[in-house]
Chain A
Amino acid sequence: MTGVRGLRAAAAGAGLALGLPALLLTLWWVASAGSTSIFLPPLREIAAAFDDVWLSDAFRRDVVPSLWRLGAGYATAVVVGVAAGYVIGRWAAVRALTSPVLAYFRVLPAPVMIPVLLVAVGIGDATKLVVIALGALWPVLLNTADGVRSVDDVQLETAAAYRLPAWTRHRLVLRAASPRVFAGARQALGISIILMVVSEMLMSTDGLGFRVTQFQRSFAIPEMWSGVLLVGALGFALAKLFELAERRALRWHRGATGRQEEAW
C-alpha cells in the first residue's frame, strides 16, 4: 500500500520538479523560434549545435579535462579543509593562532590569485587546480571547524568515561560534525564549478570555459549557448549527485532532528 502511494507521491514530486523547467524550455523554444538576432538564436539552432559540438570528440577534448580539474581541485579542498578544520575546531590554541590569518584569506577572492599563479606556476593544470582548491577550501574548513567545536560535551565525556581510544574519539567527533562538513562541502562544490569555468576562460587551451570563450570570439553564437547550457546541466547533475550522497550519509541527522524526508 505504501509502495503504490509512495510511487505516486514520487511521480507527483517529479512532475512538480520537472514541470517548470519543461515549461520554461518550451517557452524559450517558441519565443525564440523566429528570432533573427545573431546573439539570441532560436533554441532549435542551439540544440542542433549542442549535438554537433558536444556529442563528438569535444567531450574527450574539453569536458573530460574540465571534470578532472574540478574533481581534483574539489577533492583537494575537501580533504585539506576537513583536516585543517578539524585541528582548528578541536584545539582552542590552534584556533586563536590561526583565526586572524583565516579571516584574511577567506575574504580574498580566489580569482585574484590567477595572475599571481600564472607567473608563479604557469598556465598548466596545476594553476587551475590550485585556484579551484583555494576558493573551495574555505567553506569546508570554516564549517568543519565550527561543527567540530560545537560537538556536544556530553558526547565527549561519554567517550572519555568509556575510555575510547583517541582514534575512535576523533572519528566520533568528525561524525558528529558531519552535518556541518556536508554543508560546507555543498557550498564548496558550487564555488568549484565557478572557479573551474573562470580559470579556464582566463588561462587554458581546453576545457568548457575555454571553449565557450572561443565560440564567442569566433561568433559561433549557437555553439556558445550550447556550452552555457552544458555547464548548467553539469552543475545541476553534480549538485543532485551530492544531495544523494548527503541524504544517505545524514539520514541519522534528519531522524534525530525530526526533519521529514522530502519527496525529491
Chain B
Amino acid sequence: MVTSDDVLLRVAGVGKSYRARERTVDALRRIDLSVRDGEFVAVVGASGCGKTTLLKIVAGLLPATTGEVVLGGRRVTEPPAELGIVFQEYGRSLFAWKTVRQNVELPLRHRSLGRAERRALVAEALDAVGLGQAADAYPWQLSGGMQQRVAIARAIAYRPRLLLMDEPFSAVDAQTRGDLEDLLARLWRRYAMTVLFVTHDIDEAVYLSQRVVVLGTGAAGLVDEIPVDLPAERDQLTTRSSPRFGELRARVYARVRHTPQPLESVTP
C-alpha cells in the first residue's frame, strides 16, 4: 500500500531508552512507520506510551537510541528545514514580548526571502487562521484558542512539508477544540502538507486523520495501524455520529486499552 516512491517520512526501528542507575528504561520501543507525502497520520496512545518522545525524535530535537528517521530522503540528525511544529503549550511556545506578527515572522527572518515576500507569507498565514485583525496584539492578550492559532500560523507561514503537532488542542475548551480541528483540516487540504498529529484523544485522531497509529502502553511500541476510510469532507456533527466513525473509534479504543503487556511490566 505504501510504496517507497511517495514516502515522505520513514521511521525505521526507532527506539529510545534511558539509563537509570543500572537499569535501562525504555521510553520508546522499535517503531517502524512510513508516512506518505500529503498524508494525515494521527498517533494515539495512553500517557507514557512514548508518543511525544517519538515526535521529538522525528523533529530532530532528541537523538534516538536505535534506528533512524529519514525525511524527504535525508537522515534526520537535527531539526530539518522542511519541518513545522506546534506544541501543546502554546503559552510557552510563543514569545510573549513579540507581537503576533513578529512571532509568526521570526522563523522566516532567517530564510532568504525578500521583505515583501516575507510580509505576504505572514499576512496570508494570519488570515488563514482568522487572525488578520490581531496581528499587532501580544499573545497574552489573546484567548488560549487564539494563541494556538498563532502557533499554527507560525507553522504554516514556514511552509513545512511535514507539520508535527504534539497534543495541540488538549489545553483548550471543547467548543474551541472543535473549531481548531476543523481549521486544521482545512489548512491541511489547502497547503497539501503532511501532518503527524500526536494526541491522546481517540475521537480527535479518527476525526482528523487518514490513518491512526496506536502506540501501546509501557512503551510497547507500535501495536496497530488503522486506516480511516471516512469521506474526505468531514463535519463535527455528521461525521462523528456516523456508524463508521463509531466502529473505527471502537477499534482504536480497543487497541489503546488492551495492549498486550510486555512480561516484565505488570501494571494494575
Minimum C-beta distance from A9 to chain B (A): 22
Task: Flag whether B198 is at the interface (Cβ < 8 A).
Answer: no
Contact A255 B141 (CB under 8 A): yes
CA distance A205 to B92 in the complex (A): 54
Q: Are A163 and B92 in contact (CB under 8 A)?
A: no
B253 CB within 8 Å of chain A:
no
**Does B245 belong to the interface (CB within 8 Å)?**
no
The answer for the CA separation of A256 and B103 in the assembled complex, in Å, is 15
Scan A116-147; emit 1 where CB is below 8 A from any B CB, else 0: 00000000000000000000000000000000
CB of B72 to closest CB in A, whole Å: 15
The answer on a CB contact under 8 Å between A158 and B87 is yes
Contact with A along B57-83 (1 / 0, CB 8 A): 001110000000000000000010101
CB-CB < 8 A to A163: which residues of B? 79, 81, 107, 110
Q: Is the CB of B107 within 8 A of A162?
A: yes
Nearest CB on A from B263, distance (A): 34
A165 at the binding interface (Cβ < 8 Å) = yes
From B37-45, B93-101, B179-187, B226-234, give the one contacting chain A: B93-101
B110 touches A255 (CB 8 A): no
Partner of B79, one of A161, A176, A255, A258: A161
Task: Report the nearest B residue to A258, measured CB to CB.
Answer: B140
Q: Could you say which residues of chain B place their CB within 8 Å of the CB of A160?
A: 61, 79
Interchain CB contact under 8 A, B96 and A161: no
CB contact between B96 and one of A154, A157, A158, A255 (< 8 Å): that residue: A255
Does A252 lie at the interface of the complex (its beta carbon under 8 Å from any beta carbon of B)? yes
Residues A162 and B106 in contact, CB atoms below 8 Å apart: yes
Give the distance to chain A from B87, nearest Cβ to Cβ, in Å. 5
CA distance A154 to B140 in the complex (A): 16
- Which A residues are CB-close (under 8 A) to B207? none
A residues contacting the other copy or chain, number (CB 8 A): 20
Other-chain residue from B89, B93, B96 in contact with A253 (beta carbon distance below 8 A): B96
- Complex CA distance for A51 and B247, rounded to whole angstroms: 91
Taking the nearest CB of chain A, how far is it from the CB of B110, in angstroms? 6
Q: Report the minimal beta-carbon distance from B171 to chain A, rounded to whole angstroms.
A: 12
A172 to B97, CA, bound (A): 10
| Closest A residue to B98 using CB positions | A252
Q: Which residue of A lies closest to B91 (CB)?
A: A256
Q: Is the CB of A252 within 8 A of B59?
A: no
User: Which residues of B come within 8 Å of A, CB atoms?
Assistant: 56, 59-61, 79, 81, 83-85, 87, 89, 91-93, 95-97, 106-107, 109-110, 138-141, 154, 158, 164
Counting from the closest, the 5 A-B pairs by CB-CB distance are A162-B107, A252-B97, A256-B96, A154-B92, A256-B140
Q: Which residues on A are within 8 Å of B, measured CB to CB?
A: 152, 154-155, 157-158, 160-165, 168, 172, 175-176, 252-253, 255-256, 258
Q: Could you name 22 residue pairs across A and B whose Cβ atoms are closer than 8 Å? A: A152-B92, A154-B92, A154-B93, A155-B92, A155-B93, A155-B95, A157-B59, A157-B85, A157-B87, A158-B85, A158-B87, A160-B61, A161-B164, A162-B154, A163-B81, A163-B107, A165-B110, A175-B97, A253-B97, A255-B96, A255-B140, A256-B140
